[in-house]
Chains A and B, each alone.
Chain A
Amino acid sequence: MDGVLKLSHGLLHWGAMLSPELIDKLEALRGAGQAASGARACLPLGIVALDNHLGGGISCGAVTEIFGQSGQGAWWLALRALAGIKQKTCALVEPAGTFFPPGAAALGVDLGRLLIVRESNRKQALWALDRIAREKHIAATVAAIPNLKDTELRRLQLAAEASGQALVLLRPPSELSRASWGAMRLLVHAQPGSTRRLVVEVLRVRGAAMLRPMLLEFDDDAMDVRISALLPHRADHSGHAHRAG
C-alpha cells in the first residue's frame, strides 16, 4: 500500500496526463491507506478538553448522535462542530424550520458555505439528508429529524462511511432507548445554577471504553467555556441502555 500511496502522491502532479477516473482511484487508494493506518479522522469541537476526551472530536465518516432537551446545549454542541470547518461546505437539514442563522454565525459557522435544507415533510427531509450524506464534498451535516428508525439510521451510517462526512443527528432524549448505529452517542444536559453549565455524557464511542461525563462551565462575558472537568460515571447509566450497532 505504501508504494501505491507514494506513487499516487507523485502522479497527482501529472494530473493533465491522467484520466480523472484514474486520479480518483488513486485518491481513494490513498484514503484507504490512511484508514488502514488506524488514524481516526476527527472533527474537533473547538473545546480542547472535550476534544481530547473524545479522542480528537467527533468522528468523520460516521454518525454522531447528540441527545438533549431544547435549550440545554445540544444545538450549541452541534454548531460548534460546524464552526470548526473552514473552506468546505457543510449542510443542515432541519424540518422544523426554527434554525436561527445569526446564532450559528455568532459561534463561528461560515453561513456562506452552509447548505440549509428547510423541508417540513419528514419523508422528503430524510431523502434530502440521505442524499447529502452520500456527498463526499460536504464535510459535515447536522440534522434534526425526529423519530429516526433503526433502518434509517443504519442507512445514514453507511452513507457517512462512504462519503467520509461527519454526520451529526440531533435527537430528543425520549429516543435514547432506540438502537445506536452511530460511532458516537452524546447526551447533553444543563445543570441548574447562576451560570451556564452543561454536562456532556458520552454514552457510546465505537471501539472505546465508556468515557466519563464532562462538565463545561461557561463564562457569560466571554461567551465561551471557562472551565471543564471530568465527572464520575453516573450510577443510572443503565437507564440509557443502548444496543450496539
Chain B
Amino acid sequence: MDVSGDSVTLLAVSPLAVRAGVCAGMTATAARSLLPGLTLIQNNPDGERADFESLAAALGRFSPRLCTDAPRALLLEISGCVRLFGSESALAAQAAAAIERQGYSVQLGLAENPTAAMTLALAGTGKLDDAPVAALRLEPADLSHLQALGVRTVGALRQLPLEGLPARFSGVMLARLRQIRGDAQETFAAFVSPQEIEERLEFEGPTDRHDALLFALRRLAVGLQERLAAMEAGALGLQVSLRATDGPALTFPVTLTRPTRESRSLTALLHGRFESVDRGERWFDGVTVQVSSFAPLKAPQRNLFEPGSAAAERSLAELVDELAGKLGPAAVVRAEITADPRPERSFTLQAFGQAASGALEPRAVDTQVARPATLFEPHEMTVDCDESGRPRRWQDGRRQSGLVAQPVERIHFGWWVGDGAQRDYFAVQDDDGARWWLMQRQGRWYIVGAF
C-alpha cells in the first residue's frame, strides 16, 4: 500500500484478496469493506529500487545489454546471446529460474522488439493480440476511451483504422502502436551494473529468532551467487551487517580461501560464522551482505586426466572456509618448519589456504634427530644426574622414575635472543618405557615433550 496524505491506496494485492473483489488502486477503506481481515503492508520505495537494481545486476550474465523500466520491468537484448544458451526459450527459462531462486515471481515476454516484449510480459500472455490494451502502458484517458468503444485487446485495437485514430487518442497510443509493429523504437534507460556487490534483506518486523536469521543469510547467499555470476567473479571476502533495533549493528567479516560464488558454500560459511559470533539479546530488522573483495572465476573445467582433481581442490577449499568461518582462521592451519633452533619456534602456523611463505623450499627436517610428537609448556622437575651430567633419575612430586638417557642434543642460539643462550635436550626413557623430552636450562630441569 502507498500512503499519501490521508489516503491509503493499494499498490498490489494477493490472489486471495482478488477473489474477494479487492484490486490494486483501491483505497484501504474500500478494500476493508470487502475484506475486513485484510492485512496491509507499507511499501518501501527505496528498498524496492535497491532490490530491483540487484535483480538487474544479477541478470547481467544473460546479456550485456540491459535496460530498465523501473520498478516493473527489465529488458534484455538477447539476439547476440541466444547461441550461448541453445535457444531463446532455454535462455528465458534460465533467466526465470535465476529470478525465482531469489524469491521473486516473474512474467516473461519474448518478442522482436522491446515494446512487444514488454507488452507480452505485462499481459502474461503468449500472443500479442490476446494482450489487454492496459499492457500497452497507455494514458488513462485513452484506456477509458477504448473501453467505451469496446476495444479490450491489442488485437482488437490493431484492427481499428489507423488514419482515424489521431483525432481521438493521444500521441502515446499512436506511438505505442508503431513501436509494437517495429516501425519505431521505444527508448528505455540503459542499466549500468554497480561495481559494489551488496545484497540486503529487510525483515517485516524485528526478530531474534535463530532460524529466521539463518534463512535470511541463505536468501542473501542466493542473491550473491547470481550477482557474482553476472560478473564472472567469485567472492574472496564478505562483510555481514545485521541491523539491530537498538544499539550498533552486528558486523562480522567472512574470509574465503579461494574465489567462490556457489550459494551452498556461501551459505555454509555465513551460517558457520554467524553461529560463532555473540549476538547477545539483540533483535534485528535487516541484514546486508557486501562482497568486500572478489576475483575473476572462470567456469569450472573438468580435468580429463585426473577427473577428480579440480573437484577435490574446490571441495577442500570449501571445507577450509567452513572450518575457518566457524572456528576462526587461527584455528585452521598448516605448519611450516623454520630455521630457529629453539623447539617452540622451530615451526610456524599459517592459515591453511595461504600459499607457502617466502621460503623457496620448505626447510628439510633432520629425520635422524629425535623429536617428540607433542610439546607442552615446560614443567619444572627435580632430576638427579650422573658424573657426566646426564639425567639418571627424575622426581616430580610423588612420581619418580629412573631414566635411560639418549644422546644429548645441545642447542645454542645467539645471546641477543635473551633466552639463556644455551639449552640441553635429552630424550629419556623412564621405568615404564615411556619416552620424554627433557630440557636443562641454567641448571634447572623441565619436561617439555612426549614421544
List residues of chain A with CB under 8 Å of any chain B CB: 12-13, 15-16, 20, 23-24, 27, 69-73, 75-76, 79, 89, 96, 98-108, 111-119, 124, 127-128, 131-132, 135-138, 189-194, 196-198, 220, 223
**Are B327 and A128 in contact (CB-based, < 8 A)?**
yes
Q: Closest Cβ of chain B: how far from A17's Cβ, in Å?
A: 10
Query: Of the candidates B336, B343, B367, B430, which one forms a contact with A111 in the assembled complex, judged by CB atoms under 8 Å apart?
Result: B336
Residues from chain A with a CB closer than 8 A to the CB of B430 are 71
- In angstroms, Cα B432 to Cα A189, docked, is 9
Q: Once A and B bind, how many residue pairs between them come within 8 Å at the CB atom?
A: 165
Query: 24 A-B contacts, Cβ less than 8 Å apart?
Result: A13-B304, A15-B307, A16-B304, A23-B307, A70-B434, A100-B343, A101-B335, A101-B337, A102-B346, A102-B365, A105-B337, A105-B365, A106-B367, A106-B370, A112-B336, A113-B334, A114-B335, A117-B323, A117-B331, A118-B330, A124-B327, A131-B319, A137-B319, A223-B370
- In angstroms, Cα B375 to Cα A127, docked, is 25
- In angstroms, Cα B363 to Cα A101, docked, is 12
**Are B373 and A100 in contact (CB-based, < 8 A)?**
yes
**Are A191 and B433 in contact (CB-based, < 8 A)?**
yes
- Asked if B271 is an interface residue, CB under 8 A from chain A, the answer is no
**Are B337 and A98 in contact (CB-based, < 8 A)?**
no
**Are A119 and B331 in contact (CB-based, < 8 A)?**
yes
**Are A103 and B374 in contact (CB-based, < 8 A)?**
yes
**Are A135 and B333 in contact (CB-based, < 8 A)?**
no
**Are B373 and A115 in contact (CB-based, < 8 A)?**
no
Query: Of the candidates A12, A24, A113, A115, which one forms a contact with B332 in the assembled complex, judged by CB atoms under 8 Å apart?
Result: A115
Given A27-B308, A118-B349, A223-B367, the answer on whether A131 and B323 have CB atoms closer than 8 Å is yes
- In angstroms, Cα B327 to Cα A108, docked, is 28
**Are A190 and B322 in contact (CB-based, < 8 A)?**
no
Residues from chain B with a CB closer than 8 A to the CB of A108 are 367
**Are A75 and B307 in contact (CB-based, < 8 A)?**
no
Looking at B311, B371, B431, the one whose CB has the most chain A CB atoms below 10 A away is B371
- Asked if B312 is an interface residue, CB under 8 A from chain A, the answer is yes
Residues from chain A with a CB closer than 8 A to the CB of B349 are 116, 118
- In angstroms, Cα B435 to Cα A111, docked, is 23
- In angstroms, Cα B433 to Cα A190, docked, is 5
**Are B375 and A106 in contact (CB-based, < 8 A)?**
no
Looking at A71, A75, A96, A99, the one whose CB has the most chain B CB atoms below 10 A away is A71
- Asked if B347 is an interface residue, CB under 8 A from chain A, the answer is yes
Query: Of the candidates A24, A100, A136, A220, which one forms a contact with B371 in the assembled complex, judged by CB atoms under 8 Å apart?
Result: A100
**Are A118 and B331 in contact (CB-based, < 8 A)?**
yes
Looking at B320, B330, B335, B336, the one whose CB has the most chain A CB atoms below 10 A away is B335
Residues from chain A with a CB closer than 8 A to the CB of B104 are none
Q: Closest Cβ of chain B: how far from A186's Cβ, in Å?
A: 16
Within 8 A of A (CB), among B280-324: 300, 302-304, 307-308, 311-312, 315-316, 319-320, 322-323
**Are B433 and A197 in contact (CB-based, < 8 A)?**
yes
Instruction: Give the nearest-CB partner of B303 in chain A.
Output: A15
**Are B323 and A99 in contact (CB-based, < 8 A)?**
no
Residues from chain B with a CB closer than 8 A to the CB of A192 are 431-433
- In angstroms, Cα B305 to Cα A16, docked, is 11
Query: Of the candidates A76, A101, A127, which one forms a contact with B347 in the assembled complex, judged by CB atoms under 8 Å apart?
Result: A101
- In angstroms, Cα B302 to Cα A131, docked, is 26
- In angstroms, Cα B371 to Cα A104, docked, is 8
**Are A98 and B376 in contact (CB-based, < 8 A)?**
yes
Given A100-B375, A102-B346, A102-B371, the answer on whether A196 and B334 have CB atoms closer than 8 Å is no
Given A27-B307, A115-B352, A124-B326, the answer on whether A196 and B371 have CB atoms closer than 8 Å is no
Instruction: Give the nearest-CB partner of A94 in chain B.
Output: B374
Instruction: Give the nearest-CB partner of A19 in chain B.
Output: B302
Q: Closest Cβ of chain A: how far from B45's Cβ, in Å?
A: 43
Given A13-B304, A71-B434, A111-B362, the answer on whether A135 and B374 have CB atoms closer than 8 Å is no
Q: Closest Cβ of chain B: how far from A192's Cβ, in Å?
A: 5
Residues from chain B with a CB closer than 8 A to the CB of A106 are 365-367, 369-371
- In angstroms, Cα B337 to Cα A100, docked, is 11
**Are B450 and A71 in contact (CB-based, < 8 A)?**
yes
Query: Of the candidates B304, B315, B337, which one forms a contact with A15 in the assembled complex, judged by CB atoms under 8 Å apart?
Result: B304
Residues from chain B with a CB closer than 8 A to the CB of A71 are 430, 434-436, 450-451
**Are A15 and B334 in contact (CB-based, < 8 A)?**
no
Residues from chain A with a CB closer than 8 A to the CB of B179 are none
Given A27-B307, A114-B335, the answer on whether A100 and B406 have CB atoms closer than 8 Å is no
- In angstroms, Cα B327 to Cα A133, docked, is 16
- In angstroms, Cα B311 to Cα A99, docked, is 30
Instruction: Give the nearest-CB partner of A189 in chain B.
Output: B433
Q: Closest Cβ of chain B: how far from A189's Cβ, in Å?
A: 8
Residues from chain A with a CB closer than 8 A to the CB of B336 are 111-112
- In angstroms, Cα B373 to Cα A72, docked, is 11
Instruction: Give the nearest-CB partner of B431 in chain A.
Output: A192
Given A71-B434, A72-B434, A103-B372, the answer on whether A115 and B334 have CB atoms closer than 8 Å is yes
Residues from chain A with a CB closer than 8 A to the CB of B449 are 100, 103
Q: Closest Cβ of chain A: how far from B141's Cβ, in Å?
A: 56
Q: Closest Cβ of chain A: how far from B314's Cβ, in Å?
A: 9
Residues from chain A with a CB closer than 8 A to the CB of B307 are 12, 15, 23, 27
Q: Closest Cβ of chain A: how far from B327's Cβ, in Å?
A: 5
Contacts A16-B304, A105-B337, A105-B371 known; list 11 others, CB within 8 Å. Answer: A15-B303, A71-B450, A71-B451, A98-B376, A102-B371, A105-B365, A107-B367, A111-B336, A137-B311, A198-B433, A223-B367
